[in-house]
Structure formats: structure tokens, C-alpha cells
Amino acid sequence: MPSAARRLDHWARRSARDTRGRVVLAAVLVLVLAVPTGLGLGLAAVLDGAGSGASATKVATIGVMAPLSGGSADAGVSVRDAVTLAVEEANRQGAVPGWKLEVAAHDDLARPDGGAAGADLFADDSRVIGVVGPLSSSVAMVSLDRLSSVGIPVISPSNAEPTLTAPESASNTRPYPTYFRLSGTDELLAQVTADYAVNTLGRSRISAVDGGPDYGTITLAERFARHARAAGATVPTVHRVDGASTAGEQVRETAKAIQDEAPDLVYLATGAGFAGELRGALADEGVAVQVMGADGLLDRDYVERSDSAADGDVVADLSVPLSRLPAAGAFVAAYSERFGGPTVGADGLLPDGTSIEPEPEPEPEPAPTASGAPGHATATATSASVDPSHTSGSASAADEAGASGSGASEAGTASPSERELEVRRARDAALADLREAAIPPVAAYAYDAARALIRAAAAVLPGRTEVDMATRQALVRAVGAGDFAGVTGQVAFDTKGDVIDPRVVLYSVLGGNFVPLQVDSP
């Protein structure tokens, strides 16, 4: 009997999913209730439960595949948090009627085996409507087959391997039909950096060092060498090294080989540790040469290992920093409010220990007394306070009104002086800069990726009762057709799944800091 009841329950609930099934179920119920038996009463209860369940809020999941531990955890955690922020905003706004969104994050460890495990996890979850990630191209290459096979749309904020969307063969077939990315590719990075090296810096003899990774196709350093030669420069050879190593012998051998080539520029596509050691070794050998590097060098480890030798070097990346994204202000404020960020201390100091103080106010002119003789006016000054949540770089409306009003609030306290308001604005602007710098750029791309999936869900999920293959296929089409203004720029994809307006950022190393020089588009 228990098994029969379970079968009855399953049949009734399945029938209640559509209009025709509910009609049949109701007709059966009428016949059975003509004789009041346990079967009839049980069927009535099932029908009532199924009917109420049909109108209940359903749950859909957006997966996150990123390194949440290890050396890349800062970037991975920021991606998870940015997706969480987008989902929480969507739920508050009721962006997908009848559905609640949730986030499921998997630590892929920045390794292929971690990516394979994550792909299986999400592919087996019937609630998953999309995945943001992975960050690493090597992880993507082992996970996309599995995710694509079950129709899950995937949007990576940072994959750069060109063959993920365009195979090296003459075939125009899209390798992974459900895959999209918001990042440019290594081909674009190599093209822009080679053009800058030859046509802007005027370099003509370039040593190139290739530290991988090797995906079985042409590497980033080889792409750079090809474009540099096409632009007229000489690249004697591409030196292959273990780019993740800092072994002294390999560093010394590479430095000697570069010295023998007598270049006027060294191009490095390696890890930050190896690059920093090599930079120091070149300086020790008296080789005065500028270095240009790929995004692996965009790390404090590079400048710390190379010391002052790195000043003037150029590093290229495919993610635009938040300070150069005009639409990033609201995202930075919301992210910092939700997950914490730099704040002004009780002592009025910024997190880096600096203080922005006004210049001393001039002595006030003597005020006439009641008798007309000069006297001295007295005033009580109010101290400037800072609301840590302000990141707009301007004073609040209440502050501005106080500055232009009668000079005193209704409560009778003196309003802030213009000088104090200026200090507040300066502190808020400095705090906003610190908050921007504290958030990895990839977080903004992950936020836009999540929003692309949410917009697709808003167009597809209402009226549906489950996430099946047809639903996922509709979601993929909706993502591909989407076009909106995001934090990182216009979010829209071409027929291969590449973002239509990728960017390359060139940084200069100045005083141990990476300072953006320019942002290029193809």
C-alpha cells in the first residue's frame, strides 16, 4: 500500500503540471469521490497539494566556477561575491517572476581536475540555468564539453585562449555552442602589445620568453613574435622556460641568452615570480633594457622581486581596472557595502594612514560691536565627519543645502563650512579610489556575466515549471541575443560567443605601482 500511495502521488503531481493533466485529474477525482473512500480522500489531498505547489515560487541556480582557495583565491572569491551581489539584487527586484535565484559556488582550484569535478556537479543539477566562470582557460578546456552537452549556458569573465570560440582549423564550427566570454583573447593581446612595442616604443630587436601555458596550440609569446615580425621587428628566437618556476639556474641561463641577443626590448609571457627574478638578473648583468609583459606580470610579486629595475616596464591585461570604467561607481559602492571595503577610521584617517586636512582658515575680520567699535566675533566650529558608505565623491544633498542656507540648522548647530565640505568631498573621493583598487577587475566582469544570465532568465523562465533542455536552449539563445550597458561596457556577443567590444589595458610600472597608460579596442 505505501508504494501504491507513492505511485499515486507521483502520477497526480505529474498530471498537475499542465492544464490538460489537471482536467483529467479533476474528472477522476469527481468519480472517485462519488464513493467516499480513502483513495478518494487521498487523491483530493494530492490534487490540492499539487495545485498549490504549481503556483509556489520555483528555484533556479546560477553556478560559479572559480578558484576559491590557493594563490588565485582573491580573484575567485571576488567573482563569487560579485555574482552573489547580482543575484541578491535580482531577487529583491523580483527580476524573474515566479522564480527565486540562488548561487552555488565550486572551487575549481585553478586546475583542470577541479574544473572537471565542477562541470559534473553543475551538469547533474537540474536547477542550474547557467554558470559564471571558469577564470582559467585550462579549466575551461576540460569543463566546457560536459556543460555544453547538457545545454548549460556558460559565461567566462576572463578566458583568453582563442580556440575556445574559434578553432585554429579552417572550420567555422563553434566548438562549444553554449559558451560565451566577456574577455578578449590572447590573439588580441599579442596584436596590441606587438603594435605598441614596434610602432609606439620604436623597438626593433626583441627577445621573447615563453613560459606557457601550452594548450596544444600556438602560445601567447609565439603570437606576439609573429605580430612583432610582421610589424618589422627582429625576434631572434622564442625562449621556452618553465614560467611557474623561479629556479636560479634557469633564470641565469635565460638572462645570458638574452644578453647575447642584445635586444632593445624583452617580452615576457611568464609568471610574476620568474619574471621578477629574470628582471633582477638582467639588471645585475648590467643589461639596461625595457621589459614588456603579459598579464602574468600584473602582480606585486613581480615588482618586489625586481625591485626598482621594473620601473618603466609595460604590462598588458585584458581586464579594465575599475578606475577606468565610467559606470563602475554604483557597483563599487554596492560591493563594498555588501562585502566590506576600506573605510575611514574613527581617527579620520584613510585606510592607508593618510589624512586630508584643510588649510588653516584665515583669521576673521574684526566685527563691529554694538557701539560701532571693532570687536572679536566668536564661533563654535563643527568637526567634519565622514560617512563610510559615501563613495560618490560629492557631498550629500543635506550638506549642500546646509552650505547654501542660513548657516545654522534647525537644531541650532553650526553648519559645516565650505572648507569642511571640501575636506569631506576629498576624503570621499580618496576612499572611493581605495575601494576601486581593493576590488579585482575580474569581479566587474563576473557581475556583468551574472546580469547577462539573469536577463536571459527573466525572458525565459516565467511561465515555465522546470529547467529542462528546452529551457536551457532558450536561455542560450537569450544570452546570445542580449545587449545591455554593463559595468564593463556594452555587453553583447558575436555569433562565436566573443564579446563584441574587447579591451586591452597597458600599464606602466612607476614607483612599484601599476599605473594604467591606455585602454585599446580592436
pLDDT averages per 10-residue partition of the chain, 522 residues: 47 50 45 44 45 71 98 96 98 98 98 98 98 97 98 98 85 90 97 98 98 84 98 97 90 96 98 96 94 95 93 97 96 96 62 54 52 39 35 36 41 67 80 90 98 98 97 98 98 97 97 94 80
pLDDT at residue 365, as a whole number: 57
User: Among 171, 235, 189, which Cα is nearest to 496's?
Assistant: 171
pLDDT of res. 477: 98
Is-same-fold flag (58-185+441-492; 203-317)? Answer: yes
Record the pTM: 0.78
List, in sequence order, every residue forming a beta bridge with 267; answer none if it has no partner: 208, 292
Separation CA 293–CA 158 (nearest Å): 18
Amino acid 417: pLDDT: 83
**Domain ranges, ordered by start, for the chain:** 2-54, 58-185+441-492, 203-317
Q: What is the pLDDT of residue 481?
A: 98
Write down the pLDDT at residue 351.
56
CATH 3.40.50.2300 correct for 58-185+441-492: yes
CATH number of 203-317: 3.40.50.2300
Listed in sequence order, the residues at least 6 apart from 141 whose beta carbon sits closer than 8 Å to its beta carbon are 112, 161, 164, 215
Contact 130, 104 (CB under 8 A): no
Per-residue cell: 34: 462519488
Give the pLDDT score at 422. Answer: 80
Write down the pLDDT at residue 37. 47
Instruction: Tell me which residue has cell 599579442.
Output: 190
